[in-house]
Amino acid sequence: MKRIRIITGHYGSGKSELSVNMVVNLKKEYDKVAIVDLDIANPYFRSRERQKAMEDLGIKVYHNSFGYDITQDLPAISAAIKEPLENKEFMTVVDAGGDDSGARVLNQFTKYFLDDDCEMLFVISGNRPETSTVEGCLSHIERIELETGLKVKGLINNTNLLSETTVDDILKGENLCKEVSERTGIPHVATYCDENMIAKMDKEKLKGIEVKPISLFLRPSWLQYEL
């Protein structure tokens, strides 16, 4: 992993959930870990909503200028965000907004993202209508790259239906990422799924695919249910 990892993708692809999981796992290996929440265009499932839980683990959380409050969605960025980008002692995950419009805020920090120690990853959920086809994924990638001037360096398969996720959903996402990778030359770097669903799956049907588990930190308890 590069020192700075930017997570992009379509709205609802699971970017913020993955970002939180990444920093939690990084904290197990590194002393200084930070998450930069630049998702200021969409008020749903933002990584900063779990600020206290992450700070209790020793993770630094950076977001807007007004401090965390779920009712405050003003598109204002704190200057403090520069700290983990400039300080090379930090392992940093940047949770970018969805699509090209959400990723636009990255332009304020371009100089930090051009170094070799930074990579931008694109999250694909094949069950989202706008990214359910190769052409849809290619369109989103192209628009984000044009908007930011940065290149996507890796693809992440996060195809799911929450508690209804099946092996077929994962395989659907795998095939989609493979085709996008073949068309673009961008490597498919990881596949993720809710850890509770992985435990229920027939591993033989996964055909040797390594599926990394994630916890649903951002999903409110009242939305959780068991089949």
Using alpha carbons, list the distances in angstroms from residue 199 to 2, 24, 167, 194, 196: 30, 21, 11, 9, 5
Side-chain-facing half-sphere of 30: CA atoms under 13 Å: 19
Number of CB atoms found within 10 A of residue 2's CB: 16
Q: Is 36 helix (H, G, I), strand (E, B) or coil?
A: strand
The DSSP result for 39-52, as a single string, is --S--SS-GGGGHH
Residue matched to tokens 């699509």: 99
**pLDDT classification of 219: cutoffs 50, 70, 90:** low
Q: Is the pLDDT assigned to residue 42 strictly greater than 80?
A: no
Q: Is the pLDDT assigned to residue 47 strictly greater than 70?
A: no
Number of CB atoms found within 10 A of residue 213's CB: 13
The DSSP result for 67-100, as a single string, is ---TT-----B-GGGHHHHH-TT-EEEEEEPSHH
Q: Is the pLDDT assigned to residue 115 strictly greater than 90?
A: no
Most confident of 7-21, 41-55, 95-109, 180-194: 180-194
Residues above pLDDT 70, as percent of the chain: 85
Q: Is residue 97 a contact partner of residue 40, using CB atoms and an 8 Å limit?
A: yes
Average pLDDT of the residues of the chain: 87
Residue matched to tokens 């695919």: 209
62-76, 143-157, 187-201: segment of lowest average pLDDT: 62-76
DSSP state of 97: P
4-8, 53-57, 89-93: segment of lowest average pLDDT: 53-57
Q: What is the CATH number of domain 4-219?
A: 3.40.50.300
Name the residue type at position 72: Q
Q: Is the pLDDT assigned to residue 225 strictly greater than 50?
A: no
Task: Give the closest residue to 201 by CA, choosing from 224, 174, 171, 173.
Answer: 171
Q: Is the pLDDT assigned to residue 211 strictly greater than 50?
A: yes
**What are the tens digits of pLDDT across the range 122-175?**
999 999 999 999 999 999 999 999 999 999 999 999 999 988 999 999 999 999
Using alpha carbons, list the distances in angstroms from residue 24 to 30, 68, 93, 213: 10, 19, 10, 12
Task: Give the closest residue to 23 by CA, choosing from 66, 52, 49, 61.
Answer: 61
Q: Residue ranges per domain, the chain?
A: 4-219
Name the residue type at position 224: Q
| Maximum C-alpha span of the chain | 49
**pLDDT classification of 113: cutoffs 50, 70, 90:** very high
Q: Phi first, then psi: give them for residue 90, nearest 5 degrees.
A: -90, 135
- Record the tokens describing residue 209, joined without a space: 């695919």
| Distance separating alpha carbons of residues 202 and 108, to the nearest angstrom | 45
